[in-house]
Structures are given as structure tokens and as C-alpha cells.
Chain A
Amino acid sequence: MAEEGKRQERKKRRTATEAASSIGAMVKAAIGGTVKAKEEGKKLAYSFIVCSYDEIIRAMDVVPVWTENYAGVCGAKRDAERFLERAESQNFSRSLCTYALCGLGFDQWREELGEMPPDSPWGGQARPDFMLSSGQILCDPRNKWYQAAQQYMPDVPIYDVGLPYPLYEDDIEVADVQDYYIKYIVAELRGLVKFLEEQTGKKMDYDRLSELVDLSERTWNLIWETYELRRAVPTPMGTGDAMNTMVPMVFMMGTQEAYDFYLDLNRELKDKIARKEGVVKDEKYRLLWGGGLPSWFALTDFNYFNSKGAVFPVETTYRMIEPIYRLDIPETNDPIERLAWRWIRYWTYWYDKARKRPGSEPDVERLIQYIEDYQIDGIVMHEAFSCRTFHLGLIWQLNQLRKIYKPIPVLILGQDGKKKEEKRELPSLILESDIIDISSYSEVDTRNRIDAFIETLEQAKTAAALYK
């Protein structure tokens, strides 16, 4: 088919850690595993990440098919274009979420053929027995994607899990409203259990669910402790690697394999720190990836930053955990209630801090905390055109941060020609492209911006040094 000839040349990214380099095989095995599970008659569910139902589906022996992950894999392999075009030919707009478009294009093609599309990346995305949507405020495709997919798979039912959390208002206490949210989410998750029991013909084993929730929470703590090791100078691991090591965090929660992965990563980072082995030999600039999903087809841009002596010791993207003790979750023996509380407390964790700083926002507080903890020199964000809800907020966060947080003392030339002391915001860079639509990306332009940003960082350091 003509569509087969549209795959683009892909460069492999250099990783700093062995853990990150092991992820490709892990994801490939997981995707292949869903196809095998289907052949073995297991129940498969199309699933969204960060939906608080990982442990529930694992406890029910349902095999998750992470549709965002598969679209990302197609993007990283530079093989998403033919699926995006399929979706466009079905009258879906190119400006919709390109994860969803890629998935819809794939589903349409697979259903039309009755088998996987030719040369599907890593064996293809298995047909689900049911689909688990999730409205969680942040992202509209989480409600609409599977509804749209149902036109190609009308026999596949959907369960839509509502997972709201109270949005930040500086004059509303979460404690005043959280019980309503907990009650609602618990009802939604119990409804999910009932749906899964009907679909699988099995009853939920709540003791097993409790064990998996406990395993997840130990994994949350371990991830936090492990990622905090990256505060070291030089940092032993950057965001480029974290875009790989997030895989067990978001696709394998509630499994021993995920826990063991972070145990290995923890050991590896400690070894690197002991040897003073950094991502780059001469670490000049420490950057915060302040949000936005990456361009999966252009992860080598992280290597380009590294070639300039710039490293990313920390990122907000895919750091979907906090240490459990911080969340102050009320005691309960009900694992469903526990999941609901963990959800609410995770999303509202930064609210109290934000209230204490005029003009701040929870996400801005998180940025400030990371800037200070990780000795950050500059911020990079990625504005992916097709991911509207997430990325619109990023620009707002950056603007607010620049207004309220100016950590660099400098001497500037006033209009009277005299030098005066001023505090300046951290340099920042907004990259513009997409998560998987490569037609939005120009390597030359992107790297020109990175070059200019690096020069700005250097000038900021020079200005700060002159002040001293």
C-alpha cells in the first residue's frame, strides 16, 4: 500500500542509564503480550494512563491496552503518519489530539482488514473486549476517543469512569468540598468493579486489591526517593531518560515488575553518583522540563541539549507521584476508598502552598520547588499544538511564574544610563511542535531556538556573576 512508504527515518536517542535503555524491550514485550493475551482468551481493556484504576484492572486479571502508549510508540518510531491520515480520511480534524487520531486511524484500519495493519509497529494494538474511558477534567479525548472508536467496534462496550478533583480556588478550602468528591469517585470505582465483574464473569478479590494498592504505594515512595537522587551535581539522569523510565510508573502500576525496575534504577543512580558520573562530562546548565509531553519522534533533541552541556535533572511531565506520607491519606481498610483519597490528595497536594504566595498557582509552586531543590538555571516547556487542555495551562503557568518568582539578582542599565539592582526571572524556552505529528516539527528551527536559549543562559550566568 502507498501508506506503507510513509515511515520516516528515525535516529536512536542515546540514554544515560541502563534502566532507560531497557525500556524499549519492555514496552515491546508488553505490547506483544497484549496480542498473546488476546489469543489466550484473556480479557483486554483499552485504558488511559493516570486513571487510578490500574490496581482494579490488575486485580481482575484484565490486561490493559494503553492506547496513548501505542500512539506514542508509533510516533517514536516515526510511523504515525499513515494512521493520522487514515483518521483524517474519516473526517476527523488534524487539530484534534493526535494520540486519539493515531489510535482511531489504527482501529479503523485493523477493523477494516480484520487483522493488524501491515507492518504495525511492534505487532500492533490488540482489539479490546471493552474500553475504560475516564473523564478527569484535564483531557477531553479521555471521554470522546473511545466513543469515536466505537463506530469501528460497535460490539465493544465502554465504561466511563468519572475522576474529578476540586479545581484550585484561592478562597475555597479543599477540606470543605473533598467529601463530595470522595463519595462520587468511590461510587464511580465501585461501578467499574461491577462492570468488570459482568464482563469477566469473575468476582473482585478485595484482599488482592488491597495488596496491589499497597504495592503501588510502596512503588510511589520508591520512585520519589529514586528521582530525588537526580538532585546530585552532576545529575546522573536527565529528562530524556525519564521519558523512558516513566513507563513502569504509568503503564505498570500495581505490578512487582514496576517496583523491581525502580529498585534497579535506584541502585544504578546511586552507583553513578558515587562515581560522579553525570549525563554529560561538563555540566554547565541545569534545566527544568516544566511541562508538556515531548515530541516522541524527536527525543534526540535531549541529546542536542546535552551536547551543549545542558541537562534536565527534573521534569513535571510524567512525575505522577508524591511520597505517600505527604498526602496524609485517612486510615481505611477499603482499597476503593483508599484509591479515591490518593487521587484527590495527589491532585490537591500543592494547593496549600499556592495560597501562601499571592499570585501563585499549585502548578507554579511545584515549579518553584523543583527550581530550588534541583538548582535550576532555566525552564523548557513544549507546546504541543494538538494537546490543548494540558498545554494551554503551561503558558499560563510560565507567565505566572515569571511574575512572582525572580531569583536572579543582576545590575541593569536604567533609562538614566546608571546601573541599578534588579531581580530577574529564570530564562525560559517554549518549544513548539506536537506529540506525534511530525509535520509540525522542524529540526533546524528547533535547534536554532535551543542554540539561542543556551546563549541566553550563558548571558544570564555572566550577568549574575557580574553582580557578585
Chain B
Amino acid sequence: MSDYFAGIDIGSTMTKVVIMNDGIISSIIGPTGPEQRRLANNVMDSALRQIDLPFDVITYLVATGYGRINVPFADKHVTEISCHAKGVAHLFPRCRTIIDIGGQDSKGITIDDGRPTDFVMNDKCAAGTGRFLEVIADALGIALENLDKTALGSKQPASISSICTVFAKQEVVARLAEGVPLNDLVAGILESLASRISRMVKRLKVANEVVITGGGAKNAGLVKALSDKLGYATLVPPEPLITGAVGAALLGKDIVQKATKNGLPLERKRRLLEEIEIL
């Protein structure tokens, strides 16, 4: 019988579940609303339904992300730093730097052989995160996924000087009223965001290969602007949102293999998909 390993990554904006044996056999990406944060069991259940397997076949389950403590049925909780390192190294073995642009935070991680060696986080301000793009896209009435296409053809990206997301939104609206072309405006926004992220990441010893993950990696314009600012070519996984969950599943596999090899007992939770109790 195969071993199955599951990783569940409850981010501030999106929840991701991956089930693996030799490779990924199931994955789910959905929004992290207040209910999903509480009901991680339902998300896990959906991932299991995809492959028509019961929960008790899961050999080991690791939870990660900001909401990891809300997964009472996880065998282990690991931070997203270690999980991204593991997951990205699985996909890009020569990766030395990860930039994760999440919904409400962004991170830089340097890694070696799948292990994090250093990290920086922006968890204090929406500027420099996916939330910044959401707010601006909303102000411009453009669907988030179309934002980078809107920037195509820009020859003179507009300068956005406000650091605060709220004020940047006001600035964008004002520049639009001044007659700044939309593609220049959006290109300027992407440059502004890339500039903030690169400033943070440059606190680390950035080295090739550089991989970008998270929702921000889906924006080709942002990825290009970030590559330019950093002075490095960047790589993007086929599905950049699930690298943390993949890493979580792989870390679970490592834990099981290490315990088996050393004849150590494996601490696992009861295989019961229960919701967390929040007072």
C-alpha cells in the first residue's frame, strides 16, 4: 500500500491543500475566509474527495501558513519558511533564493539544499503584498488577473510615490484624472510594488536561482519588474500558490522516513477531520 502525505497551507488570503505519494495526486486552492480558517477540515475533505480516498490513509499531515494552528488534525505544524524552502527545492533543486508574494505578506528566503538559511518578512504593511495590487485593481476597475496585461505597451511607467496602500490608491485615481495613460499607470504600480519587495529581499544575500512564488508570481508584469530590480533572472513554478503545501507534504515524508530509519515512534494525531474549537 502506498504512503500518502498531505500538506495544508492556510495563508492569510488563500488555503492550499496538496496530497502526494510519488507525486502530487490532489491539490486544492480556495479562499481563506473566516469560515475556512475555522473549517480546515472541509478543505481537507474536498482534497480527499478528488481522489476518492478516506482520511485515514494519510500517513502524515503537516500544516503550515499563518493559520496552521487552526488545523487540529495536523500531525505537525511547521512555518511557511521551511515549507516553501522544501517545496521550491523539490521543483528547482538549484534554487538559492525564494521570493513569496502572498495576499497579505511577502517574504524573502535564502535556502541551501532545501533548508532555509535566512529570511525576511514584511508582515506589517499591505504595501509590498498582493493586497496592494487588489486595492489598486479595484480602484481602476480592472480584474486582478488582467492587471499585468493592462501594462503592456507602456513606454513611460508613471511614478507612484506613496508608500501607504491607501494613499497610493488615492494617488492612482488622481494620476488617472490628470490623464496619465492607463498602461503607464499600471506599469508604474507594478514597478512600485517590485521596488518595495526588492528592497526587502536585498537585505538577504540573494543568489541564483531565484524563484518567485505566491499569488504575486502569477502577475508576469510584476515578475519582470522584480527581476529587473533585483538584477536576476527569475523562475516561477507551474502553480506558484502550492509550493508551501508541497513542501509541507514533503517534510511530512522526511519525518516518516527518518523515524522509520531510526526505529523511532511516529507521533500522529487521530485521523479525525474535526473543526477547530474557537471560543
Assess whether B208 is in contact with A415, with CB atoms less than 8 Å apart.
Answer: yes
Is the Cβ of B113 less than 8 Å from the Cβ of A456? no
Q: How far is the CA of A444 from the CA of B66 in the complex (A)?
A: 8
Chain A nearest CB from B122 CB (Å) reads: 10
Residues of chain B within 8 A (CB-CB) of A415 are 94, 208
- Verify B113–A448 contact, CB threshold 8 A: no
Surface stretch bound by A, among B75-83, B129-137, B181-189, B260-268: B75-83
Of chain B, the residue at the smallest CB distance from A455 is: B82
In contact, A456 and B118 (Cβ under 8 angstroms): yes
Chain B residue numbers with a CB within 8 Å of A427 are 117-118
- Chain B residue total in the interface (Cβ 8 A): 20
Q: Which residue of B lies closest to A413 (CB)?
A: B113
| CB contact under 8 A between A412 and B113, given known A417-B94, A452-B82 | yes
Cα–Cα, bound, A427→B79 (Å)? 16
Please tell me if the beta carbons of B82 and A462 are within 8 angstroms of each other in the complex: no
Q: Enumerate 29 A-B pairs (CB-CB under 8 Å) in ascending A order.
A: A412-B113, A413-B93, A415-B94, A415-B208, A424-B117, A427-B117, A427-B118, A432-B124, A445-B121, A445-B123, A445-B124, A452-B79, A452-B82, A452-B119, A452-B121, A455-B78, A455-B79, A455-B81, A455-B82, A455-B116, A456-B116, A456-B117, A459-B82, A459-B115, A459-B116, A460-B117, A462-B115, A463-B112, A463-B115
Instruction: Tell which of A413, A424, A463 touches B94, judged by Cβ atoms closer than 8 Å.
Output: A413
Chain B's closest residue to A459 (CB) is B115
Within the complex, the shortest CB–CB distance from B41 to chain A, in Å, comes to: 22
Q: How many residues of A contact B (CB 8 A)?
A: 23
Closest to B113 in A: A413
Minimum C-beta distance from A23 to chain B (A): 31
Q: Tell me the nearest residue of chain A to B205, going by C-beta.
A: A402
With an 8 A cutoff between CB atoms, is A410 at the interface?
yes
Cα separation A462 to B82 with both chains bound (whole Å): 13
Q: How far is the CA of A455 from the CA of B80 in the complex (A)?
A: 10
Distance of B52 from chain A, by nearest CB (Å): 34
**Does chain B have a CB within 8 A of A449?**
yes
Quick check: B112 and A413 within 8 Å, CB to CB? yes
Q: Is the CB of A428 within 8 A of B118?
A: yes
Given A417-B94, A455-B81, A456-B81, decide whether A448 and B116 contact each other with a Cβ distance below 8 A: no
- Give residues of chain A (444-468) contacting chain B, Cβ–Cβ below 8 Å: 444-445, 448-449, 451-452, 455-456, 459-460, 462-463
Q: Quick check: B121 and A412 within 8 Å, CB to CB? A: no
Contact between chains at B82 and A448 (CB < 8 Å) = no
Known: A455-B81, A459-B82. A448 touches B115 (CB 8 A): no
Structural contact, B124 and A442, CB atoms closer than 8 A? yes
* Contact residues of B between 91 and 115, Cβ < 8 Å to A: 93-94, 112-113, 115
Chain B residue at minimum C-beta to C-beta distance from A399:
B203
Contact B94 A452 (CB under 8 A): no
A328 nearest CB across to chain B (Å):
39
Chain A residues whose CB sits within 8 angstroms of the CB of B115 once the complex forms: 459, 462-463
B124: chain A residues at CB < 8 Å are 432, 442, 445
Considering residues B80, B117, B208, which has the most beta carbons from chain A within 10 angstroms of its beta carbon?
B117
The contact string, 1 if C-beta is below 8 Å from chain B, for chain A 434-445, is 000000001011
Q: A444-B66, A452-B82 are in contact. Are A412 and B118 (CB under 8 A)?
A: no
B121 CB contacts on chain A under 8 angstroms: 445, 448-449, 452
What are the 3 tightest A-B residue pairs by CB atom distance, in nearest-first order? Answer: A459-B115, A452-B81, A452-B79
Contacts of A445 in B (CB 8 A): 121, 123-124
* Bound: A455/B248 CA distance, A: 13
The minimal Cβ–Cβ distance linking A225 to chain B, given in whole angstroms, is 36
- Residues of A near B93 (CB, < 8 A) are 413, 417
A406 to B136 CA separation, bound complex (whole angstroms): 43
Task: List the B side residues contacting A449 at CB < 8 Å.
Answer: 121, 123
B120-160 to A contact mask, C-beta < 8 Å, 1/0: 01011000000000000000000000000000000000000
Q: A432-B124, A448-B66 are in contact. Are A412 and B119 (CB under 8 A)?
A: no
With the chains together, A332 CA to B124 CA distance in Å? 54
Q: How far is the CA of A460 from the CA of B81 in the complex (A)?
A: 14
State the CA gap A445–B124 with chains docked (Å).
8
**Chain B nearest CB, measured from A230 CB (Å):** 27
Q: Which residues of B contact A462 (CB under 8 A)?
A: 115
* Separation of A212 and B118 alpha carbons in the complex (Å): 48
Mask: chain B, 23-64; 1 = CB below 8 Å from A; 0 = not: 000000000000000000000000000000000000000000
Closest CB of chain A to B251's CB: distance in Å?
Answer: 10
CA distance A169 to B116 in the complex (A): 36
Q: Is the CB of B123 within 8 A of A448?
A: yes
Minimal Cβ-Cβ distance residue in B for A403: B205
Extra contacts besides A413-B113, A428-B118, A456-B116 (18): CB < 8 Å: A402-B205, A412-B113, A413-B93, A413-B112, A417-B93, A417-B94, A427-B117, A432-B124, A442-B123, A444-B66, A452-B116, A455-B82, A455-B116, A456-B118, A456-B119, A459-B115, A459-B116, A463-B113
In angstroms, how far is the closest chain B Cβ from the Cβ of A207? Answer: 55
Residues of B within 8 A of A424 (CB): 117
In the assembled complex, the Cα of A424 lies from the Cα of B112 at a distance in Å of 11
State how many angstroms separate the Cβ of B63 from the closest Cβ of chain A: 12
The CA of A463 and the CA of B118, in the complex, are separated in Å by 13
CA distance A164 to B117 in the complex (A): 40
Complex: A410 Cα to B117 Cα, angstroms = 11
